[in-house]
Chains A and B, each alone.
Chain A
Amino acid sequence: MSKVMAVPDQALVDPITIFPDICTGCNLCLHVCPVDLFLPNEEKGGPPLVLWPGECWYEGSCVDICPEPGAIVLNRPPATRVNWKPRSECKPRTDVRK
């Protein structure tokens, strides 16, 4: 059989950013990811690689378990970002018909 290859997923989303300067390559994120979307870096101590970004469920186990603050960040898909504003800016403009 020919060489077994991993081919990165063609995804519409980019769920995970790993900052290589902070990441120690401990691979804990890889061990807990429920969809197994990472592969280990062939370079020892290098950050894991995100091969299947489209499969992310955005539950954040990878971030929760990471021992290095700021090494890994979960990015919400842009289409699902939510608005908030100070309560004081919700002001009357007209009367309510009761």
Chain B
Amino acid sequence: MPTFDETPGPMEWPYPIEWDKTDEIDTDVLVIGGGASGCFAAMGAASRGARVVLWEKAATMTSGAMGSGCDHWEMAATNPCSRVTPEELADAMIRGHRGYNNGISHYIEARESYDRLLDLERYGAKIRDTNDEFKGADFRDDATKFMFAYDYVNRFTLRVWGTTFKRAMYRGAKILKAQVVDRTMGAGLLTEGGRMGARVVGAVAINGRTGKFTVCRAKSVVFCMSRPTRLWLFAPGATGISEFRPPQCTGDGHAMAWRVGGSFTMLEKSLRGEWSGLRSFPPYSTGNNHNTWYACTMIDAEGRQIPWLDRDGRELQTVAERYRPSPGQKFYMKGGGEPDFPFYEFQGPETLPVEEALKRGYKLPFYADLTSMPETERRVIWGMMVGNEGKTRTPVYKAYNDAGFDPARDALQSYGDGWRSGQFLPQERQFFGIPGGMVNDWRLMTNLEGLFAAGDVLFASDCVGHAAATGHYAGRHAADYAASHGPVTLHQPQVDAERARLFEPLQRQKGLSGQALAEAITRVMQNYCGAVKSDDLLHEGLRGLEDLKEESKALVARNPHDLLRAQETLNVLTNAELVIHSCLARKASSHQLQFTRLDYPEMDPPAWHKFVTVWRDEGGVRNGELPIDYYGDLADNYERHNADYIAGARP
């Protein structure tokens, strides 16, 4: 058992302190965030001949939500084995979410996510069963050696060796001559004349080891900084596991864009918590039968199998049937992209719901039973999938193997309802599934000229295939934009104001800790922006956030590391305000958006079936709207905006 014996005491800062220095750089395209979307944005822009700088807050080789791995690659409709078209998949994504989805980004994903897999292979990643470990398995295509998950008939989701991916992305970005700068947090946007809502002309950053301030002049900027977290959930003393996504993912891009007039939609949508720190078990670490573990057999405490049912409630007799559409069904959606609520047309097999199983006398606790799975299915789940999913390779696969877990002998216990393995209160909410984000056009440009968005910065985003595809696409279009626009000029007073704002927490040695502020934000959000909302409650919440803004003037950072954490927490505070304004703007309840208003109780009135948008200008917060199908015909628009790419212009 480890002990705290070697916990160090306070020590002198070991890196050079450079917060008095300013670096000034100039580029065509600045990419902020070096996860999957950021690396591909850098590659996409560089493939068009642009000069590219990429800023990553952590270490690009391992950082981002999938930095340490991923087990499947979704929506690869153009792979040679797929039996569905990009149009069919995008249509399922849109209708499955009753229209509240990003038609543009998911169509891009369906058209290009397979291309990105081939890029990864080119840069050294493993995407095929080249060692013939699974030869002859149901889920393998012996000609291409591709392996598939979920729907084995339609074959549009690939099983992949994702622990090899992030290094390949990093390598690809460097081979294409993007300048990758680690430990550097993009912290503020610069606009033409320093005006809100004006063209974006660059950004500023701080280094988490030296405190150095960097000012970058760029003709276009691509935001790849994931989504807000820690608005409702925070784990004091274990802040790193407050949420499903990494702790450094704090929605910095959302906060930066909101400050200068970026437009957002769907941020009124939040879900009751599914994953958080010490409240639930880590994802895929317990007995379950979803995603990484689909479609594992579940048994009860007395060893009886919990029945698997198809969409019509018909009990399935074999394991193979779990991987096939129901009679009369074209394909089903699982593992990314599946609707939040059951949607008959695309509904895949599931086990009997827990409540129903208990009524029928099945005994808790339940277990995942790999022992009774066919040998290749057992080996692909406990081996390839758990061994490649990022948060399970070391802490689950390696740790359980080392502790003696044997998938051919042992049953792994399930907690709660098995999937989430944790129980949350209604006000403990989270952005999960496909939450809100920045509004985009067909170039993946935002409402701010010159600012592009990719991955989880976009509204209604999810998963790594989406991040990679939209990253490359946004990078290409950002490069085209840079090539067709002249040099930009920075507004020095804005640069100076950003420097003063960012270094402010260094001004004192005593005061408010980042953790105390972080916890206080979640208290305001739980109290006033929880499971039920009303104008009165939400306005009270805004007042609470104003108080915290006052208090945050006492925030302390004693070194560059703590300064980065302080800025992240201040971004969370900004994002809390953005989310409350998003909730105020929708004056109607919506089942699909999991949005309940006490003062507008009617669910989904037709007049509100639209995207509500929010942004700021000099006069305050503004609201607007977009038709639910504002993106128009998917294939036509895609082809109109990507003629070069379709013609094979990519490297």
Chain A residues with a Cβ under 8 A of chain B: 2-8, 10-15, 17-18, 20, 31-37, 39-40, 42, 49-61, 63-65, 73-77, 79-80, 82-87, 90-98
Contact = CB atoms under 8 A, between A and B. Distances in A.
Contacts of B559: 4-6
Main secondary structure of the interface of A (DSSP, over half): loop
Interface in B365-381: 367, 369, 371-372
Nearest to B506: A1
Contact of A51 (B8, B59, B371, B410): B8
Interface string B80-95: 0000000000000000
A13 B361 CA distance: 39
B262 to A, nearest CB: 26
Given A4-B13, A7-B558, A57 B303 contact: no
B411 A56 contact: no
B410 A55 contact: no
Nearest to A14: B2
Contact of B394 (A4, A52, A60): A60
A93 B367 CA distance: 16
A75 B565 CA distance: 23
Contact of B14 (A17, A40, A50, A73): A40
A12 B7 contact: no
Contacts of B362: 96
B127 to A, nearest CB: 19
Contacts of A2: 509
A54 to B, nearest CB: 5
A12 B248 CA distance: 19
Contacts of A11: 237-238
A54 B208 CA distance: 17
A95 to B, nearest CB: 8
B246 A59 contact: yes
A90 B80 CA distance: 43
Residue of A11, A40, A60, A93 contacting most chain B CB atoms (<10 Å): A60
Given A31-B59, A35-B240, A6 B304 contact: no
Contacts of B363: 93-94
B8 A59 contact: no
B145 interface: no
Interface string B220-259: 0000000000000000111111000011100000000000
Given A34-B59, A39-B11, A77-B278, A82 B2 contact: no
Question: Is the interface on chain B under 10, 10 to 19, 20 to 34, or 35 or more residues?
Answer: 35 or more
Contacts of A32: 59, 61-62
Given A35-B240, A36-B209, A64-B394, A94 B302 contact: yes
Contact of A4 (B8, B12, B183, B412): B12
B493 interface: no
A49 B558 CA distance: 18
Contact of A90 (B68, B208, B301): B301
B501 interface: no
Contact of A85 (B11, B398, B411): B411
Nearest to A92: B302
Contact of B410 (A10, A42, A87): A87
A34 to B, nearest CB: 4
Contacts of A83: 412-413
Nearest to A55: B240
Given A13-B238, A34-B62, A87-B410, A73 B2 contact: yes
A63 to B, nearest CB: 5
A75 to B, nearest CB: 5
B63 A34 contact: yes
Given A33-B59, A58-B241, A87 B369 contact: yes
Nearest to B61: A32
A70 B541 CA distance: 49
A55 B241 CA distance: 7
B302 A91 contact: yes
B395 A60 contact: yes
Contacts of B620: none
Contacts of A90: 299-303, 367, 369, 411
A84 B413 contact: yes
Contacts of A86: 409-411
Contacts of A8: 7-10
B542 to A, nearest CB: 30
B533 interface: no
7 contacts: A5-B10, A5-B12, A14-B2, A32-B59, A33-B59, A36-B561, A59-B68
Contacts of A12: 236-238, 278
A54 B7 CA distance: 12
Given A76-B399, A85-B410, A59 B390 contact: yes
A55 B247 contact: yes
Contact of A75 (B2, B13, B209, B372): B2
Nearest to A80: B281
B393 interface: yes
A83 B281 CA distance: 12
A63 B558 contact: no
Nearest to B35: A34
A69 to B, nearest CB: 11
